[in-house]
Amino acid sequence: MLAPEQTIHISSTSKALCGGFRISFIVTPPKYKEALELALYNINLMVSPFNAEIVRQLIESSLADKIIRERQEGIAIRNKIADSILHDYRLLGDLYCNFRWLLLPTGWTGKTFETCAKNAGVQVYCAERFAVGNAFVPAAVRIGITAPKDLKELTTGLSILKSILK
């Protein structure tokens, strides 16, 4: 919103609707359109016409809106659970985000915490995995809020993370 002529918006249906629908949408200012089309052509992307048709029908029928609302409600419930279990620690991320960043207390690195969590049966990803170049990497891990199959598994995993932190 602050720089509409400098901003390219990219979004995917895989997180919002269904992981199997690997279809993205791009909105770009006109000055970037040709270069973006050429780049996409050069990497030879192919969208499944069948998936594209399903997504088109979901959007046109308003069923996509219903799915998104229901997913957002479920994500909000999961994030509230994360907030309640890890309330003594700093969690970054929106109530409707599929993942949260857990800032680790002094003495931890993301890599060390990731290893400890994995050994305890919980998969998180250290911030180091997402670092680009020489960027500063905070001591943090990314928690996939929507990865556990149900609320019980989420609660168990978050409780294990809390016990590791203590």
Least confident among 2-11, 44-53, 103-112, 119-128: 44-53
Contact call for residues 161 and 86 (beta carbons, < 8 A): yes
Q: What is the pTM of this model?
A: 0.80
Query: Which superfamily does CATH assign the domain made up of 87-165 to?
Result: Aspartate Aminotransferase, domain 1 (3.90.1150.10)
pLDDT one-digit tens code per residue, 26-70: 899 999 999 998 988 888 777 888 888 999 999 999 899 999 999
Q: Locate all alpha helices (DSSP H) within 61-92, ordered by sequence.
A: 63-85
Q: Where are the domains of the chain?
A: 4-61, 87-165
* Residues 6+ positions from 97 with CB-CB distance below 8 Å: 75, 79, 145
Tokens representing 116 are 């400890």
- Cα(149)–Cα(1) distance, integer angstroms: 36
pLDDT at 61: 93
